[in-house]
Amino acid sequence: MDHKEMPRPTADTWGKSFPSGNELLKNISSDDTPLTISQRPQQKWEDPSMLDYNTRIEPPFQEFKQRSETQSSLPCNPNNQNKVTDEDVQMNGTIQTEKIQDWDPRAMLNNLNFLEQKIHQLQDLVHLIVGRRSQALGRPDELLAQQKQLITADLTSIIVQLISTAGSLLPSVKPLSGTTPTGQLGQLGGLFLPSTVGPNGSVQPQNNGGSKVSDQSNQMDITVNCGNEQNYNVEEHESKDDEDADEGENLPPGSYEILQLEKEEILAPHTHFCTICGKGFKRDANLRMHMRGHGDEYKTPAALAKPNKEATSEPMLIKRYSCPYAGCKRNKDHKKFQPLKTILCVKNHYKRTHCDKSYTCSRCNTKKFSVIADLKTHEKHCGKDKWLCSCGTTFSRKDKLFGHIALFQGHTPAIPLEETKGPTVPPDRGEGNEAINKVRSINFNFGSNAPNGNEVQNTADVKGNIEDPTGYFSPLNFDTWNFGGFHEFPRPPYEDSESSLSFLIPGSCNYTVPGSCNYTQKTGAESSSNNPE
Amino acid sequence: MLLSAFTEDLLVRVYSKLGSDSDRKTWRLVCKDFLRVDSVTRRSLRVLRSEFLHGLLSKYKNLDTLDLSVCPRIEDATVSVLLSQAVNSVSWTRWVTRLVLSRASGLRYGGLERLVGACPCLEVLDVSYCWGYGDREAWAISSVRGLRELKMDKCLGVSDVGLAKIAVGCGKLERLSLKWCMEISDLGVDLLCKKCLELKSLDVSYLKVTSESLCSIASLPKLEVLAMVGCPFLDDYGLQFLEHGCPSLQAIDVSRCGCVSSSGLISVIRGHRGLAILNAGYCFSELSAMVLHSLKDLKNLNTIRIDGAQVSDSSFQTFSTNCKSLVEIGLSKCVGVTNMGIMQLVYGCVGLKIVNLTCCRYITDEAISALANSCRNLVSLKLEACDKVTEKSLDQLGSCCLQLEELDLTDCCGVNDKGLKYLSRCSELLSLKLGLCTNISDKGLAYIAHNCTKISELDLYRCTSLGDDGLAALSSGCKNLMKLNLSYCNGVTDTGVQYIGRLGQLSDLEMRGLVNLTSEGLTAVVAGCKKLSDLDLKHCGNIDDSGFWALSYYSRNMRQINMSYCAVSDVGLCMVLGNLTRLQDVKLVHLMNVTVKGFELALRACCVRIKKVKLIGSLRFLLSTEILETLHARGCKIRWE
């Protein structure tokens, strides 16, 4: 594990990219060594924004944190987990068809209703406490502290919810209503939740719990991981029909609404935030899945349903997106402006075109990407460019290689060195290669142990040996034949010089090579022991 | 004394007139001068015993052809040794232009590379049936820049990559056979056609190539012969490419291409008026009038095979009028061949030499008589399963077709002793098949034996009326017999088989199911037939170990043996497999008296030279993995029953 992670710019990836962090999680969850688990919170602590988070939110919040910890770890019971992933899959399907929805007034309304309810609940609670206080003044401080905790927790959750509701407005509000609200909101985010813009997974309170809850947190990771992985899949899927795909689309100007996201938003990893714990998500569906962990009220079909399902029936103006980069063809001020179809297109376009390519392929160390999905796609095929020309050019497809060879005089396909006999091995020759190596090693005086597989070496050795033909015993050289103990073997009474040799096991007589010693002795012994006489 | 008067070049001229190997052997044994003439003059060497190879190659310095196809134990190590001697003296590889490595499955790319690399003049290479060959071996071959002819049939591992190597490396290639190289696809063929523009002959039979390949092949400017047997994905669309390509195409074989129909064939014919050989067997169900009509443009057509097609009398009418120069016609399993049809055919095509009427069941004496009368130069006639043919046909053949060399009368119940008497007038007969002719007896065989002394191949499969006397006659008459099938001739006993031992040239002998044959008979055969290389003893249950002991002692040239269902024991089997040092192919199923240990030991004894072995499937798990691995590594193919 450690070695694997070494080349990664760990702090960076943690900070910037969710998916790569994800992969790390994957590794962890697959290996689940205690070492890596403990390593994780450590990195968290190092994260400056995380420290920020902790200092800002002062003691009461820490208490809340503990509570929410227990809450959030609830859905992570193995029993629940299956269900979660199942439904995730289902939801995912709907996501794919529907793509990302950003600001939606109905969702906003839902959120506000929810807030209202929450405030009412809190009101009731405080009323209750007030009532009880008047009844029993002499209660121990313990209960009082509990009540206090409860209230602070609820209050914090309301605040978070409020901020996130405002945050969900961000992308859509901006292009419509100028810059001022954006600034405000951004400030808000910066003030209270550094995690909204900053490092993605930082609001995962359960991770701060340390070793005590490490098991649970690990489970949680898995669930989260599942969700995100699916996200990633979806993204990858979509990345194929991204900005270039709508090239041919010719919507008359004005027939659609142009939205333009700001750079910060485009680069922000998440657009949906949990109102309770503040965890960020790329998709509302995943958020809804997540919400179930915060209480039964989120498990109702109404809460799980897509909030804007009815909204689709309303006639909506087609939305198209503009790239915020001035001068870009995808920018609405460009003469030949070509709008982008979806937010995802915007994101991918912006990252690919206007950002550094910060993701380097770990296999070839040459190809760089700015979109992580592109890296993943590349890595899937990287090194699989098995169609290699003698000139060193690699091709992912055979026909491309053959086209290349047809074009250039003298170029030939290179036969990979490590491939011993690849396709030539018939199915029933399971251990054929091994055997070949073995026998070769016997023939060619390889020394004591035959190297496993490396054919190049074999050839080299063969040639090396051939230089010195006296170095090994030829199968034709009768004088060198020597068979101990073979005279006892039953032979016809006729004298025949060849037949006397013929019973010898291959290799036993012909090749008296150190490497073959075992074999020779063994077979020799066996055959003499099997002597039917 | 007399001989010393001859100068060496005179001796060389005499030597060059020698026809057969046995004559040359006699020559070598005369004296040292003659031996030297032989060693200086000899150009071609086909070696059966690899242990002599070393000595032979140092003796024959001027070889241009080396054939190692029947030689067991050709491996990388062998090659190294053979080449190592070249260091001291002038290399024997200097003038070698032709190398036959067919079935040398033990040779791998290392050895192959060395071998072909040592032959600077190499032009022809045959590596067919080296089933283990793949791209690496192809790579080794590709280093032969001057290669003109390459045969790679059944090199199962060679893929497009290997073919590309060869295509790029051997740009002068003129003849190439890729039959059964199943890995090769359109891509490889396309590249080949782009790189090897000198190709004159190409065989892509049984490949999974499509019309795209034909599009590429059509671009070959010099292609003359194209074989595409059994390509399931080739269709008429592909053949249309050929119409406008390959201007010098002379021979095309599209037999067993399921997707080819008349229209495709017509387009090929339309484009190539110079076509001489057309093989379209088992392509289409009916020979359409359109095809027949188009045939009239093919002035040079001398061979046509339309096996399995539906024909009518009018088809033959067309043949007769349009294809006057026809030399060979194949009508095997054609539906609708009648006496009338054949009579019409031979009326026009008097030059026919090779006629195949296998399974044309409605043919009677009338047709054969007409054929014999018209086509006096008939050389080969196949009448298998034409059961209406009687002695009258043979009478006509015996009186008119004195050139007849090959006659197949398998399953012709109408053939009797009298017929054979008539037939025996064809004294040029080389091959005669009388399988399942139950009406012939010793008497009939005696006629043949007395008169057809040139016969080299005789098939008497299930001629149950035959007895020992027939074989006695045979052994005294047909001294040139090389191939004999006596399977299931139940009348034959040890006495008869002992006569077989007198046939010194016999190399192939099938004696399946001879229940009366014992060790005594087998001993006589193997002791007499020194050249025996292929022996089938399946179901000869009465031969015991002593017979196999004799076999293992005498049959030094044995290459292939079938001992299935024989009563051989552990010891016998070990003797046979251990002592027959040229053995390459053995079938050993249902040997009831052999234990697993016996098999193991026997296989160990022969695994260095064996190339193919058939074993009962249960042994797969009983034999040690060591021996199986060794067999594999040596290029031996195991067939499990």
- In B, residues 66-105, which contact A (CB 8 Å cutoff)? 73, 75-78, 80-81, 83-84, 87
For residue range B566-601, what is the model confidence (pLDDT) as tens digits? 999 999 999 999 999 889 999 999 999 999 999 999
Contacting residues of B for A480, CB less than 8 Å apart: none
Residues 6+ apart with CB under 8 A from A501: A478, A481, A483, A509, B581
Sign of the Cα torsion B600, B606, B611, B612 reads negative
Residues B381 and B407: beta-carbon distance below 8 Å: yes
- Say whether pLDDT at B614 is over 90: yes
For residue range B135-158, what is the model confidence (pLDDT) as tens digits? 999 999 999 999 999 999 999 999
For an interface test with A, the pick among B49, B519, B608 (most A C-beta atoms closer than 10 Å) comes out as B608
- Which of the listed ranges A4-18, A37-51, A387-401, B583-597 does the model predict with the highest average pLDDT? B583-597
pLDDT average, residue stretch A445-450: 37
- In A, residues 91-150, which contact B (CB 8 Å cutoff)? none
- Say whether pLDDT at A175 is over 70: no
Distance from CA of B503 to the nearest CA of A (A): 23
Cα–Cα distance for residue pair A499/A30, rounded to 1 Å? 62
- Indicate the helix (H) or strand (E) that contains B125: strand B124-126
- Between B388 and A488, where is the model more confident? B388
- Say whether pLDDT at B160 is over 80: yes
Coil, strand, or helix at residue B617?
coil
Give the confidence band of A271 by pLDDT, cuts at 50, 70, 90.
Answer: confident
- Say whether pLDDT at A63 is over 80: no
Cα–Cα distance for residue pair B75/A475, rounded to 1 Å? 10
pLDDT average, residue stretch A318-346: 86
Contacting residues of B for A415, CB less than 8 Å apart: 135-136, 139, 161-162, 165
For residue range B460-494, what is the model confidence (pLDDT) as tens digits? 999 999 999 999 999 999 999 999 999 999 999 99
For an interface test with B, the pick among A458, A474, A496 (most B C-beta atoms closer than 10 Å) comes out as A474
Query: Range with the lowest mean pLDDT among A242-246, A280-284, A404-408, A461-465?
Result: A461-465
B553 and A474 within 8 Å at the Cβ level: the answer is no
B169 and A412 within 8 Å at the Cβ level: the answer is yes
What's the confidence (pLDDT) of residue B230?
A: 94
Locate the DSSP E strands across A367-521: 368-369, 387-388, 394-395
pLDDT average, residue stretch A418-433: 40
What's the confidence (pLDDT) of residue A248?
A: 54
Give the confidence band of B225 by pLDDT, cuts at 50, 70, 90.
Answer: very high
What's the confidence (pLDDT) of residue A17?
A: 40
Q: Looking at the partner chain, which of B80, B552, B629 has a beta carbon nearest the beta carbon of A435?
A: B629
What's the confidence (pLDDT) of residue A200?
A: 41
> Average pLDDT of chain B?
91
What's the confidence (pLDDT) of residue A293?
A: 85
pLDDT average, residue stretch B319-342: 93
Query: Range with the lowest mean pLDDT among A137-141, A203-207, B291-295?
Result: A203-207
Cα–Cα distance for residue pair A250/B496, rounded to 1 Å? 95
- Between A370 and A7, where is the model more confident? A370
pTM of this prediction?
0.64
pLDDT average, residue stretch B251-263: 92
- Between A412 and A150, where is the model more confident? A412
Query: Range with the lowest mean pLDDT among A50-64, A104-118, A295-309, B156-170?
Result: A50-64
Cα–Cα distance for residue pair B560/B72, rounded to 1 Å? 11
Residues B198 and B228: beta-carbon distance below 8 Å: no
A435 and B183 within 8 Å at the Cβ level: the answer is no
Buried b (16+ CB within 10 A) or exposed e, B513-549: bbebbbbbbbbbbbebbebbbbbbbbbbbbbbbebbb
Which residue, among A444, A448, A386, A438, has the nearest Cα to A417 in the 3D structure? A386
Residues A208 and A65: beta-carbon distance below 8 Å: yes
Residues B481 and B502: beta-carbon distance below 8 Å: no
B156 and A432 within 8 Å at the Cβ level: the answer is no
For residue range A290-303, what is the model confidence (pLDDT) as tens digits? 888 888 888 888 77
Pairing of strands A387-388, A394-395: antiparallel
Tell me the percentage of chain A whose pLDDT exceeds 70.
38
- Say whether pLDDT at B623 is over 90: yes
> Average pLDDT of chain A?
58
- Between A29 and B522, where is the model more confident? B522
Query: Range with the lowest mean pLDDT among A251-260, A380-389, A433-442, B78-87?
Result: A433-442
- Say whether pLDDT at B511 is over 90: yes
Cα–Cα distance for residue pair A407/A404, rounded to 1 Å? 5
Q: Which residue in B has a C-alpha nearest to residue A463's C-alpha? A: B110
What's the confidence (pLDDT) of residue A336?
A: 85
For residue range A9-21, what is the model confidence (pLDDT) as tens digits? 444 434 444 444 4
B523 φ/ψ angles, rounded to the nearest 5 degrees: -60, -45
B51 and A499 within 8 Å at the Cβ level: the answer is no
Contacting residues of A for B630, CB less than 8 Å apart: 435, 439, 506-507
- The structure tokens listed for A368 are 């760089």
B638 φ/ψ angles, rounded to the nearest 5 degrees: -105, 125
Coil, strand, or helix at residue B112?
helix
Q: Does A399 touch chain B (CB under 8 A)?
A: yes
For residue range B532-547, what is the model confidence (pLDDT) as tens digits? 999 999 999 999 999 9
